Amino acid sequence: MAVIGTYEGLRVNVIVDGLELVEYDAPAESVPEDNSSKDEHIAKYQRSVTSIKYVEAISGKKFAISLQVEDPFDVTSDYLAFEILVDGKTVSSPLLAKSGYIHHGLSWSKVIEGPYKRVDGTVVLKHMVFAELLTTSESEHVLKVILNEQKKSLVDIGEIVVIVTRRDRVVVPAPAVLPGSVAGDKTASGQDTTGTTKYHTKLLAKEAQSHSTVLGNNVAVDSIKLKQIHTKLVDRPERFLAKFCFRYRSREKLQSLLVIDRNPSPEPEPVQVETEENPLKAHQTPSPPSTPTDAEKRLAKMKEDLQKKQEEIDRHMREFSIKAVDEAESVATIIDDPDAASMRLAVQLHNLPTTPRIKRKRGVDDGESAAASARATKKAKSKGKQKRDRQYIEISSDSEDAIEVE
């Protein structure tokens, strides 16, 4: 799907049998410099908003052009015009109205299967079909005049171009011919529907052209109503908003141009697009490959690590919450009954498994043990007011020594 990075949400692609054709990047050497503009700034701008892709053409296959515009693309004019040129000739110029774009939630799509015209009051469609070019290798001296004419007509053959421009509405008298009408039974390139025109192989060699586009038979379309709207360009013609180029070639020619490998790897499944012949409820995208890629593996590993860290954080938060609740309950108890809290604290401190430091009174022998005990008892009574800081107790032992607990 051709996308220009400058305009996200604006997409154009070629579809066959309801499927998007695989697009290939153009080799650098196959993209000629655009010398149509003498202004280097204009030429640089045009290159920046131009997308060039190669697609494969299969003889006899009908094709269509899919146009899609969606958010975040911003429509800054009354209309967006999509001029579709096939082999250098305008096939259709559908318009996207800004009001309709906003009304449908910034989403718009349209599939152009060919030009429409009125025949005896009935709207008919002529499908676009890939057709192989007929070639000849006759003497170029004999066909000199014909070669000169063919050289001019071959410039645009084998190329689909969609030019997007900004336009505002104007009121003018309606012309007699509707845009996109095709007079007679000529193709977009001017070739007749029989496909009898032969091109010299020498002329086709440079661009490796293999196909052109012919128009099919008239097909009545009852669901289409042709409506003509007159508009004018907002910007200068050379400052178009975007340009999408699709060069269609046979697979052999794409290989000769080195656009695709002669032994290519399997191509991705194309995307199916809704058309009148292939109605779909919604666009279907190809399912992803079953084998995970390196990026998917890294993403899965990152998600696993993130989940483990989150679980660890949750565990710490639960522990912190429990501890905070316990501390809050303790504080609440102290506030409600400070005396009871003090008593519990004293009991807890008393029950601590603290090893007391023992100071043995020097100069006390077995004969003086009774006197020492009496003095210790008297001393303890005199310091009754200091019980909160230090207490003296008597214990029974073989030596009946006094033990000071600090």
The pLDDT score that the predictor gives to residue 180 is 44
Say what the pTM is.
0.59
In a domain, 305, yes or no: no
CA 147 to the chain's CA centroid: 48
Measured CA to CA, the distance from residue 125 to residue 217 in angstroms comes to 8
Within 8 A by CB and 6+ apart from 60, the residues are: 129, 130, 131
Encode pLDDT of 220-243 as tens digits. 887 777 778 889 999 999 999 999
Encode pLDDT of 361-404 as tens digits. 444 444 455 566 666 656 655 555 455 444 444 444 444 443 33
The count of other CB atoms within 10 Å of the CB of residue 34 is 12
Residues 266 and 133 in one domain: yes
The residue-averaged pLDDT of 54-83 equals 94
Measured CA to CA, the distance from residue 123 to residue 225 in angstroms comes to 8
| Phi-psi domain of 114 (left: phi exceeds 0; alpha: psi -120 through 50; beta: other) | left
The pLDDT score that the predictor gives to residue 292 is 60
Is residue 21 over pLDDT 90?
yes
Is residue 12 within 8 Å of 65, Cβ to Cβ? yes
Measured CA to CA, the distance from residue 106 to residue 69 in angstroms comes to 8
The pLDDT score that the predictor gives to residue 359 is 47
Measured CA to CA, the distance from residue 241 to residue 164 in angstroms comes to 5
- Whose CA is closest to 112, among 76, 71, 81? 81
DSSP 8-state assignment for residue 164: E
135 vs 11, residue with greater confidence: 11
SS3 141: coil
Proportion of the chain above pLDDT 90, given as a percent: 32
In a domain, 314, yes or no: no
Is residue 405 over pLDDT 90?
no
**Which of 295, 311, 346 represents a domain boundary (last residue)?**
295
In a domain, 266, yes or no: yes
The residue-averaged pLDDT of 268-291 equals 52
Residues 180 and 328 in one domain: no
135 vs 356, residue with greater confidence: 135
244 vs 176, residue with greater confidence: 244
The pLDDT score that the predictor gives to residue 195 is 55
Residues 240 and 373 in one domain: no
Whose tokens are 């001019």? That residue is 152
Within 8 A by CB and 6+ apart from 375, the residues are: none
Is residue 401 within 8 Å of 364, Cβ to Cβ? yes
The count of other CB atoms within 10 Å of the CB of residue 283 is 13
Is residue 86 within 8 Å of 128, Cβ to Cβ? yes
Encode pLDDT of 162-175 as tens digits. 999 999 998 776 55
**Residue 98: which pLDDT band, with cuts at 50, 70 and 90?**
very high
The residue-averaged pLDDT of 314-342 equals 64
Within 8 A by CB and 6+ apart from 312, the residues are: none
Write out the residue range of the structural domain in which residue 348 sits.
Answer: 323-354
Residues 229 and 373 in one domain: no
The pLDDT score that the predictor gives to residue 274 is 59
Is residue 272 over pLDDT 50?
yes
The pLDDT score that the predictor gives to residue 358 is 46
In a domain, 304, yes or no: no
* Greatest mean pLDDT range, 44-48, 301-305, 313-317: 44-48
Which strand (E) or helix (H) includes residue 130?
strand 122-132
The residue-averaged pLDDT of 137-147 equals 62
Residues 96 and 228 in one domain: yes
Encode pLDDT of 282-312 as tens digits. 344 444 444 566 666 766 666 676 677 678 7
Query: Picking from 158-172, 177-191, 346-360, which range would have the lowest pLDDT averaged per residue?
Result: 177-191
Is residue 84 over pLDDT 90?
yes
Is residue 334 over pLDDT 70?
no
Residues 340 and 387 in one domain: no
The residue-averaged pLDDT of 146-167 equals 83
Residues 156 and 138 in one domain: yes
93 vs 363, residue with greater confidence: 93
* DSSP sequence for 325-390: HHHHHHHHHHHH-HHHHHHHHHHHHHTS---PPP-PPTT--GGGHHHHHHHHHHHHHHTGGGTTT-
The pLDDT score that the predictor gives to residue 333 is 56
**Residue 26: which pLDDT band, with cuts at 50, 70 and 90?**
confident
Measured CA to CA, the distance from residue 42 to residue 49 in angstroms comes to 11
In a domain, 76, yes or no: yes
Measured CA to CA, the distance from residue 123 to residue 224 in angstroms comes to 7
Handedness of CA 293, 298, 303, 308 (dihedral sign): positive
Residues 393 and 263 in one domain: no
Residues 42 and 56 in one domain: yes
Q: Which amino acid is at 225?
A: K
In a domain, 313, yes or no: no
Residues 348 and 395 in one domain: no
The pLDDT score that the predictor gives to residue 196 is 59
Within 8 A by CB and 6+ apart from 124, the residues are: 116, 117, 118, 218, 219, 220, 221
Measured CA to CA, the distance from residue 402 to residue 379 in angstroms comes to 11
Measured CA to CA, the distance from residue 63 to residue 87 in angstroms comes to 14
The residue-averaged pLDDT of 20-48 equals 77
Residues 382 and 342 in one domain: no
Looking at the 3D structure of the chain, how many domains does it have?
Answer: 3
Name the maximum alpha-carbon separation found in the chain: 153
Which tokens in the block code for residue 226?
Answer: 């042709």
The pLDDT score that the predictor gives to residue 42 is 92
Handedness of CA 167, 170, 172, 174 (dihedral sign): positive
Residues 265 and 343 in one domain: no
The residue-averaged pLDDT of 165-188 equals 60
48 vs 27, residue with greater confidence: 48
In a domain, 288, yes or no: yes
Query: Picking from 39-43, 102-106, 135-139, 158-162, which range would have the lowest pLDDT averaged per residue?
Result: 135-139
In a domain, 24, yes or no: yes
The pLDDT score that the predictor gives to residue 288 is 46
